[in-house]
Amino acid sequence: MAASEDSLRRALVEKQSTIESQGNAVRALKASNAEKKAVDEAIEKLNALKLEKSSIEKQLQASVSGNPGSSVSKEAFRQAVVNTLVGRLFFIPSFKIYGGVAGLYDYGPPGCAVKSNVLAFWRQHFVLEENMLEVDCPCVTPEVVLKASGHVDKFTDLMVKDEKTGTCYRADHLLKDFCNEKIQKDLSITAEKAAELKHVLAVLDDLSAEELGTKIKEYGITAPDTRNPLSDPYPFNLMFQTSIGPSGLSPGYMRPETAQGIFVNFKDLYYYNGNKLPFAAAQIGQAFRNEISPRQGLLRVREFTLAEIEHFVDPDDKSHPKYSEVADLEFLMFPREQQISGQSAKKTCLGEAVSKGIVNNETLGYFIGRVYLFLTRLGIDKDRLRFRQHLANEMAHYAADCWDAEIESSYGWIECVGIADRSAYDLRAHMDKSGVPLVAHEKFSEPKEVEKLVIVPVKKELGLSFKGNQKKVVEALEAMNEKEALDMKSSLETKGEVEFHVCTLGENVTIKKSMVSISKEKKKEHQRTFTPSVIEPSFGIGRIIYCLYEHSFYLRSSKAGDEQLNVFRFPSLVAPIKCTVFPLVQNQQYEDVAKIISKSLTAAGISHKIDITGTSIGKRYARTDELGVPFAITVDSTSSVTIRERDSKDQIRVNVEEAATVMKSVTDGNTTWADAWANFPHHSSVSAEE
């Protein structure tokens, strides 16, 4: 793909220079008063060259955007979706009457219902299925917890300021936008320049503040709103800071993720689980990130719902008992190597990816498979869902492997779920800070004889030499791994002393033979103690829901063909309301029947809405299609009613007494609409779709 883009750029440069020469030739002919025929021929050739150039430009445009002319229609599509969502109160900009606040949104009634359905299904698909231990921890978190996790020091984005107005921007976003825009819209740049910009995009996450600043200056990037110069980039911590209690002495933050609440409870949860591994804990809750300049509507917000799972597992055994249930699934996977070599995501068998080691282990593979099933059952289009592996530069140093479930929307591919094997990092970090052992044990059936390394610093000797630094030297000696300790032992035996680097002092010290004893001793052990690894699927619920809105939305012509009607094709599982009940015309008898049916729908636990307005039935259908309501019951007699399915607009006729049972069965998914269509008389009504 890259090669063809390259060759098109080169062809374009060549064609431009041929056009210029031909233009010169035409001018020369005209200046020399050449024969009309010769001038006409030269002009014809020039026009042919221009046509060829425009064809290359079109091909290049298609190659860089992946879809010629797509950006305009994508924006129009997004606008239609957002207008419907806002118009029907799926969401509302928060504090709208005061002008709103960027990055904060309310869920209105249908939005709340969709969210609650998505979360109910999440609990069923993950928590119930795996017997997970659900917890619910506070959003306000003391500083020490987020210091231990690394958020206080490292949860930052690099920011630049408009030097005149003070408006803030994310530095990497400005550079990214500049590179993408140049690559996609400036067809005159050379293949070399395009390659350079692509390289910048590839290493964007790795750039330091200085490097980002240099690039911003080099490319002459200015503030997008004013074109004013920008400041140098500097880190901005994304957490909302607060203090706990009135004294102001106890700093805290609004949590940027829910995971830490689970880690700090590990010891109790492990005990609750009978001291057995593996087990998973789960939490659904609000997370807060003070995003620098939130764009992309509902996709990048400052407060959002996360649903997170922390699956604790023995680092020596990452198999999963139910792995075989997902191993045969096939879907789009985008491993690191394919990204680096410029290929696109390919349909891959999950089991093969795990057995070839592309996915690090079975448990990670199991969760990737379960996330695929979760998202597609919600209604995410499987052809616009891919699992992308993190590149080495995206992954934290401690992580064993990470994959993002990315969903394609009008904004491009969006990370909606992160699935990471974070090794033992988080538990170790909290163990170090709190001093509480966050470990698991494996009891041996018979005691095992093991050779153990024993390091005994001789504190008296060390104290004499290192005085106030003695504690740090002792800690460093005790923290040596087996190889370091045995190397030191042999050096001490041969040379009597050795140079030793103490990180916490930032210098080398001389250790003498009398200062430490290092030996290997045989011991009987009854159990093994270790820090569990954690595999973490982390779901951005708002992002999933927004992508679901886009994947479910379509337009269809009204019966008269004079109007485009909005429809959300939500599956019953997520539809905000499962069915509507309409008396066909305003009449007391029909209204009474509608009320009887409504009562039985309530008893069956089916969310529904009665619409007894005199509006035409076609308009009432259109109104509910726009909310994604899958079924409509229309009362057109006192003994039987029709049930209409939203997407096919097909209708069946059922007895009044059966209506709620049929609805229950099709909305619970116990039967399909096709079953209902096969089992009940069909109804056709001309008036139904006005």
The DSSP output letter for 129 is T
What angle is formed at CA 415 by the lines to CA 410 and CA 418, rounded to 5 degrees?
160
Q: How far is the CB of 270 from ligand AMP (least distance, A)?
A: 24
d(CA 21, CA 13): 13
| Residue from 540, 576, 628, 630 in contact with ligand AMP (CB under 6 A) | 540
What angle is formed at CA 607 by the lines to CA 602 and CA 609, rounded to 5 degrees?
95
Which stretch, 216-224, 414-422, 441-449, 481-489, contacts ligand AMP (CB under 6 A)? 414-422
Q: Is 395 in the site for ligand AMP (CB under 6 A)?
A: no
Taking residue 104's Cβ as centre, other Cβ atoms within 10 Å add up to: 14
Nearer to ligand AMP (CB atom), residue 157 or residue 636: 157
Nearer to ligand AMP (CB atom), residue 395 or residue 662: 395
Strands (E) located in 410-563: 412-421, 440-457, 497-502, 507-512, 516-530, 533-540, 553-557
For 419, 537, 576, the CA distances from 381, given in Å and listed in that order, are 19, 20, 19
Spatial CA neighbour of 566 closest among 92, 91, 80? 80
Nearer to ligand AMP (CB atom), residue 539 or residue 582: 539
Nearer to ligand AMP (CB atom), residue 371 or residue 654: 371
Nearer to ligand AMP (CB atom), residue 294 or residue 365: 294
Q: How far is the CB of 544 from ligand AMP (least distance, A)?
A: 7
| Residue from 297, 369, 537, 542 in contact with ligand AMP (CB under 6 A) | 542
Q: Is 625 in the site for ligand AMP (CB under 6 A)?
A: no
d(CA 8, CA 5): 5
Nearer to ligand AMP (CB atom), residue 50 or residue 336: 336
What angle is formed at CA 368 by the lines to CA 364 and CA 370, rounded to 5 degrees?
115
Residue nearest to ligand AMP (CB): 540
Q: How far is the CB of 536 from ligand AMP (least distance, A)?
A: 9
Nearer to ligand AMP (CB atom), residue 261 or residue 540: 540
- Spatial neighbors of 175 by CB under 8 A, at least 6 apart, are 200, 204, 207, 212, 215, 216, 219, 221
For 73, 250, 412, the CA distances from 572, given in Å and listed in that order, are 29, 48, 27
Q: Can you give the length of the chain in residues? A: 690
Spatial CA neighbour of 571 closest among 666, 489, 641, 660? 666
| Residue from 221, 306, 635, 688 in contact with ligand AMP (CB under 6 A) | 306
d(CA 416, CA 405): 6
Q: How far is the CB of 413 from ligand AMP (least distance, A)?
A: 12
Q: Is 543 in the site for ligand AMP (CB under 6 A)?
A: yes
Q: Is 385 in the site for ligand AMP (CB under 6 A)?
A: no
Nearer to ligand AMP (CB atom), residue 306 or residue 659: 306
| Residue from 130, 172, 257, 406 in contact with ligand AMP (CB under 6 A) | 257
The DSSP output letter for 394 is G
User: 264, 243 in Cβ contact below 8 A?
Assistant: no
In a 3-state reduction of DSSP, which class is residue 407? strand
Spatial CA neighbour of 269 closest among 438, 414, 476, 143? 438
Q: How far is the CB of 123 from ligand AMP (least distance, A)?
A: 18
d(CA 685, CA 266): 61
Q: How far is the CB of 389 from ligand AMP (least distance, A)?
A: 14
C-alpha 425, offset from chain centre: 21
Q: Per-residue contact track with ligand AMP, 208 to 247, x per CB under 6 A? A: ----------------------------------------
Q: How far is the CB of 299 from ligand AMP (least distance, A)?
A: 6
| Residue from 258, 363, 531, 538 in contact with ligand AMP (CB under 6 A) | 538
Which stretch, 188-196, 245-253, 410-418, 655-663, contacts ligand AMP (CB under 6 A)? 410-418
Q: How far is the CB of 607 from ligand AMP (least distance, A)?
A: 26
- β-strands 385-389, 330-334 pairing: parallel
Which stretch, 301-309, 341-349, 421-429, 465-473, contacts ligand AMP (CB under 6 A)? 301-309
Nearer to ligand AMP (CB atom), residue 259 or residue 654: 259
Q: How far is the CB of 104 from ligand AMP (least distance, A)?
A: 11
Q: Is 415 in the site for ligand AMP (CB under 6 A)?
A: yes
| Residue from 93, 229, 418, 618 in contact with ligand AMP (CB under 6 A) | 418
User: 103, 300 in Cβ contact below 8 A?
Assistant: yes
Tell me which residues touch ligand AMP (CB under 6 A): 257, 289, 291, 300-301, 304, 306, 415-418, 538, 540, 542-543
